[in-house]
Structure 1
């Protein structure tokens, strides 16, 4: 079955009606698989979101969590067709598509629990008969801008938390994957219908190109802009939002490294490296791009990896034995070829698609191309002699998203996780840098943007903090013992 034929059937199952000027092309064969209307009226969407906020913020948080629970139910029921649509539209293999939808379900579960755990603090006051507390209130409408490589999960990370925190959401998806967004919105509408009294404008999607994203970023009614994409995009979004004193949550580029030490379990390491470097055809922000191997084991270990990479099945992502699907489009292919030249190895898989074999590139020093993130399956290999050198190599890039070390030496692992170790937002031991659980906060430092999404206390980004002092006495003592009295 062609991707276009399969997409039509999936969209029908998901309750999506296609039609419009924004076309979606499957990276499997480059053919159009559907189209949607470009809904570029951001001003109207933001006005509706602001109106929805005025009522949604007053709904008790556990009741808001009920809507997210219903959304999770809809996602569970539609997991298989939505995952297949992800595969068709962004080229992920079926297992990764299923994993992405499961990630949506997991964040819904997390957010439902959170709806009863939005805790403040009781703070000891220095003044007698005074009490201080800290509480959290809904922030306002949230604008979510997502990239093609995670066409549904990143919206869910933001939307599930925003909803329980009391915030409406306006979503601008990548124009490369508009069908996935329409399918998710169809499921969200079903959940809101079952919920019964969700305000109009609570969850919206505005389709289109950069002009739509720019309008969302500049609208003063959007209290928080959560944007996922390149560092170049973040350099534009951050200042624009700052100009109007809005908040940003930026998830930008990654240039992630793994250190392999002499004590490492090499069987474990090679399996992790395989997925981290080749998964999603290297098109993840957490993709492993730099492998830092101790010089005493490097030659033999790299040969093992080359043999393993040579056996990877590259092809139609719908096939069960495929591990690496296509690059998203011609521009991604050209970016990879510009970096490694004619050594790029194309695979004759499906006509019209851009299929490449993951490349392992030996490097003596961190050359210029290695310091930049190329969204393609290129793994650079570096050698080191002592751990301090390896950590310095890990940190010697402008991005700071994810990192890992393979070692059975407790001192090495603790050194890597210490304040003078990895400078990334994510630092793992004996697993790769790619693939994160919902429970932990996701995000990175430096040019990765500093944002945190998903687990832990990431919910605080979607709320405003308020400190309250209550005087239940009859005197009015001032803080710091200040005396302020009018003479009789």
Structure 2
């Protein structure tokens, strides 16, 4: 047991079973940062210490990988791809089914680790692990549904069809806020498609990635899955991020993160004409019309704004309210936020609704965002406080904040990854749609209305310009069955359900001549 947890037990009356959880997940005081699915390797990089946002104490150390370690790992992945793509898709799906079962067995432990290392409350963490399990179930069914199409040929005695083949090595660069689920959304789909995966997790939550690989390692070994099909590399983004983006051996990079990081990676991948799935920033708004059921709307708004302490890409950032109910909505939100104020604390405490921000940098961003908003003429309606008492020492706890603002202000146009909600009013529905769309990002959106015409307009081609548009439900909480992603500076990528699987495969068109003649294209006559 690490020195930190000996100290933890001596200073805290309740340890929430954390030492036992770490032991069951195979997390030691020092851990290796390179795994090829069935093998862990001694790495040559620097030491990274992962600390908990709950109280700032270190959890464990990770021996990070170096650039030479990365090259070795991708070599293994390429070798494994040649074998894995020959495995029939339903058999690949059966491996994914068993991975899902392994994750089920460790659901509570994995969730507890997410809360410890990332800071989201335990109930949300359980939901994240369940998303991994759900996408495994989805991918198992998908493994028997990788459909192509047969088309009518213009040439007699010919058949025309298209089909999908495995793409190659898929690189997955994930963010801290969903330290496990984003990996699963990509990996499980890629695996049934016949691809192999290389995962580089955020350096803020490396233990979550290591624990997931420990959880699935036995499945891979027992089923004799070739080494290199499922790979993990913990390494500094400054060293390995560019290597992955520029590596021609990696057919597809799936990047989740800020728009700034996504642009950098996409440019490097694009320079070699590689493929990307970019899931980047969101500046998500909810329109609350004069016919809205506020008993539905207020809980959705509050959860969307304060869930995961405002650190979801689908968090609610803007609230566009009809002026006839503007004051009423403000009063209801203030009452709700007053209740939230009393339930900020340790994310493993079942009474907690809002846990800590991820780190000091996020806390400074929270303060800078509010200060900038005030400088640009906004009014603080609630919040604006870093909490320093009544919670664990050295934690990153803040009070969710409500700000009255104007949509055109630079601070509102920018996505701040903190629990700050901007309120603004409208009079005409067309004005609300215009305000809603008038930001650089286009991920998730929502409308609360009992007017069918307004609702249908919102999800039509002249309504929300986001990849996700919801009616009478909030902006966060997307289901794995639908394709997840957004437009504009959100990146245009799609992960998870629907037909997002096609991004992980290469499409091939086939023409088959089963006749005894050879008609040439465009009716050309060519005789020898």
TM-score bracket for the superposition, by shorter chain length: over 0.9
Instruction: Work out whether residues 46 and 219 of structure 1, in 8 Å CA contact, stay in contact via their aligned partners in 2.
Output: no
Give the corresponding residue for 2:250.
Answer: 222
Select the residue among 293, 296, 303 that pairs with 1:265.
293
- Tell me if 1:390 matches 2:449: no
1:79-94 equivalences under 5 Å are 79-94=107-122
Q: Distance in 2 between matches of 1:43 and 1:321?
A: 46
**Structure 1: which 5+ runs fail to align?**
none
Give the corresponding residue for 1:253.
Answer: 281
Over the residues paired in the alignment, what is the CA RMSD in angstroms? 1.4
Q: Distance in 1 between matches of 2:19 and 2:99?
A: 23
Give the corresponding residue for 1:37.
Answer: 63
Q: Distance in 2 between matches of 1:127 and 1:200?
A: 46
Deviations, residues 169-205 of structure 1 (Å, cap 9, x unaligned): 110000000110000011121211232x211111111
Give the corresponding residue for 1:484.
Answer: 525
TM-score by length of 1: 0.97
Secondary structure, in 3 states, of the residue corresponding to 2:328?
A: helix
Select the residue among 177, 180, 193 that pairs with 2:205.
177
Report how many aligned residue pairs link the two structures.
485
Select the residue among 18, 21, 24 that pairs with 1:10.
21
Kindly state the Cα deviation for residue 483 of structure 1 after the two structures are TM-superposed: 1.7
Kindly state the Cα deviation for residue 9 of structure 1 after the two structures are TM-superposed: 2.5
Give the corresponding residue for 2:384.
Answer: 344
TM-score by length of 2: 0.90
Q: Distance in 1 between matches of 2:126 and 2:196?
A: 27
Q: Distance in 2 between matches of 1:161 and 1:225?
A: 14
Change (3 A) 1:206 1:365: closer
Q: Distance in 2 between matches of 1:7 and 1:142?
A: 33
Kindly state the Cα deviation for residue 39 of structure 1 after the two structures are TM-superposed: 1.8
Select the residue among 328, 345, 356 that pairs with 1:326.
356
- Tell me if 1:279 matches 2:290: no
**Structure 2: which 5+ runs fail to align?**
32-46, 375-382
Secondary structure, in 3 states, of the residue corresponding to 2:397?
A: coil
Deviations, residues 261-299 of structure 1 (Å, cap 9, x unaligned): 011100100010011000000000000000000000001
Deviations, residues 187-231 of structure 1 (Å, cap 9, x unaligned): 121211232x21111111110111122212221111000010000
Q: Distance in 2 between matches of 1:104 and 1:18?
A: 26
Deviations, residues 221-244 of structure 1 (Å, cap 9, x unaligned): 110000100000011111111111
Q: Distance in 2 between matches of 1:470 and 1:376?
A: 56
Q: Distance in 2 between matches of 1:369 and 1:231?
A: 15
Kindly state the Cα deviation for residue 16 of structure 1 after the two structures are TM-superposed: 3.4
Select the residue among 140, 164, 173 that pairs with 1:145.
173
Instruction: Work out whether residues 43 and 219 of structure 1, in 8 Å CA contact, stay in contact via their aligned partners in 2.
Output: no
Select the residue among 193, 209, 213 that pairs with 2:221.
193
Secondary structure, in 3 states, of the residue corresponding to 1:97?
A: helix
Q: Distance in 2 between matches of 1:473 and 1:18?
A: 69
Instruction: Work out whether residues 7 and 34 of structure 1, in 8 Å CA contact, stay in contact via their aligned partners in 2.
Output: no
Secondary structure, in 3 states, of the residue corresponding to 1:223?
A: strand
Secondary structure, in 3 states, of the residue corresponding to 1:356?
A: strand
Q: Distance in 2 between matches of 1:459 and 1:351?
A: 45
Select the residue among 429, 439, 464 that pairs with 2:471.
429
1:72-471 equivalences under 5 Å are 72-195=100-223, 197-210=224-237, 211-312=239-340, 313-341=343-371, 344-347=384-387, 348=389, 349-471=391-513
Q: Distance in 2 between matches of 1:364 and 1:463?
A: 43
Q: Distance in 2 between matches of 1:366 and 1:279?
A: 25
